[in-house]
Copies of this chain bind each other. A is one copy, B any other.
Amino acid sequence: MDGQLVDLMVIVVTLSMMLTPLTFVLNDALGRWLDPAPPVHYDSMEDAEEVPVIIAGFGRVGQIVGRLLNARRIPFTALDASADQVETVRRFGRTAYYGDASRLDLLRAAKADKARLLVVAIDDVEASVRTVQTARAHFPDLRIFARARNRFHAHRLMDLNVELIERETFLGSLDLARNVLEALGTPAPEAALVVERFRAHDERTLRRQHAVYHDEKQLIQTSKEAADELESLFESDRESSAAEGKPVFSPADVR
């Protein structure tokens, strides 16, 4: 069975629970009784017409976001290029549209003019960029968070001033590296700090690379661009290396 299908089934089960009237009422009452925490600060959650979040792309990344929103009873509208996934989401009571999320009519149907946030979780770089471009042009008040496949995709999204860019394998890779360091004997607090420092350094490097990156020249001046980028990376790594030399652990931190 495909992993994405399994992810969808998790949603299906979660949604079906929410929508089974008895379960819903009990769960709701129980929740109010047991949980004194303030609710999520969204004031029209009960109104199915006003959905705060649109998720464009309902694959591995979009499904996790959707499942988590659903667990918090925050409605969302899903857009996906797969008719099967749209069908499944619909059957369990959430709005979903089939098609290319960069189409203005699709975004209008999803009420992008009333939504607060568009999550672009499409893995295809060109489709993702097109979707952000359409949204930016027609819904200037809509906040946009996006999934990026790699550094190049991240730079394209930076060009469009996307508010939050999540490189899809970056955090997982850092977690894997942290575990490798620990397996080789690095104490856990030190490994965590090393990885956190590397994360911050790499994000600075990504922003710095973007400053010397020009989309139009990309295809015609590859070697020039590469040399510029290499130089910028060299400087960035040197600075980071100097900073790494500073003492950061007291013996108490390591233990």
A123 CB to nearest B CB, Å: 9
A3 in contact with B150 (CB, 8 Å): yes
Rounded to whole Å, the gap between the CB of A243 and the closest CB of chain B is 10
Q: A30 contacts the other chain (Cβ, under 8 Å)? A: yes
Could you say which interface size class chain A belongs to?
A: 35 or more
* A113 close to chain B: CB less than 8 A: no
* Contacting residues, chain B, for A42 (C-beta < 8 A): 184-185
| Among candidates B13, B67, B152, B164, residue contacting A234 with C-beta atoms closer than 8 Å | B13
Q: Is the interface of A mostly helix, strand, loop or mixed?
A: helix
Q: Across the interface, which residues of B come within 8 angstroms of A38, CB to CB?
A: 254
Q: Check A249 against B37 for contact (C-beta < 8 Å).
A: yes
Q: List chain A positions with a Cβ less than 8 A from chain B.
A: 1-7, 9-10, 12-14, 16-17, 27, 30-31, 34-38, 40-42, 52-53, 60-61, 63-65, 67-69, 71-72, 74, 116-117, 119, 121, 143, 145, 147, 149-154, 164, 166-177, 179-181, 183-186, 190, 194-195, 198, 202, 205, 209, 218, 222, 225-226, 229-230, 233-234, 237-238, 241-242, 244-249, 254
Instruction: Please provide the 6 A-B residue pairs with the shortest distance between their CB atoms, ordered closest to farther.
Output: A3-B150, A41-B185, A64-B173, A3-B152, A3-B151, A171-B171
Q: List 19 A-B contacts (CB under 8 A).
A: A1-B152, A2-B150, A2-B152, A3-B149, A5-B226, A9-B229, A10-B205, A13-B233, A36-B249, A40-B184, A52-B184, A64-B169, A68-B180, A117-B183, A119-B176, A121-B176, A145-B176, A168-B168, A168-B172
